[in-house]
Amino acid sequence: MPTTSQPEEPMLTQAEIREGVEARLKKYEGRSLFERFALFIGMAQLLELGLKNLLSRRYGVDIDSLERWTLGQVKGALRDRGLRPDFIAYLDSVVDYRNHMAHSFMADAFITREMFGGQETRFESRELDRGTYELEQLLMFFEWTEQNDAWGQDAV
């Protein structure tokens, strides 16, 4: 008895993720701590805009009503609407990094520099580097999911 086959869902391999993130991280190379910080914040804002657009396009949320929403509020709205849980889990971590960077990082970096005589240290950039990696990984995941319309079934 012939069976109808389901269309194969697009997949992103571990190697593709690693290569894609490595390529995305090149824009941070050779930049000072403060330049990397500014780039991180700018990329987080681009993610936020993309997610607001997704909320508007996929769920019919009025784009003008989203203007003052934070990245955390956007995450909550997407989670509540049933967007793929793996994406929400990555987003949750990125929201935490973005909030720390926006509210505490510069003060922490200043204090650390004072402790080490004004020199940039690996210690002060470690958290920024981890947050940057996760942000760029999520941005790659977002772009891939958009291109492949792989948002899955949710509560539209």
Task: List, in order, residues 6 or more apart from 145 with CB less than 8 Å away.
Answer: 84, 87, 151
Would you state the structure tokens that stand for residue 155, as one six-digit string? Answer: 């509560």
Run means of pLDDT, 10 residues per run, the chain, 156 residues: 60 91 97 93 97 96 96 97 95 94 79 69 78 96 94 67
Q: State the helix-helix crossing angle for 33-59 and 106-115, rounded to 10 degrees.
A: 160
**Contact (CB, 8 A) for 65 and 102:** no
pLDDT score for 123: 59
pLDDT score for 124: 67
pLDDT score for 142: 97
As a whole number of angstroms, the distance between CA 21 and CA 119 comes to: 29
pLDDT score for 9: 72
pLDDT score for 36: 94
pLDDT score for 154: 62
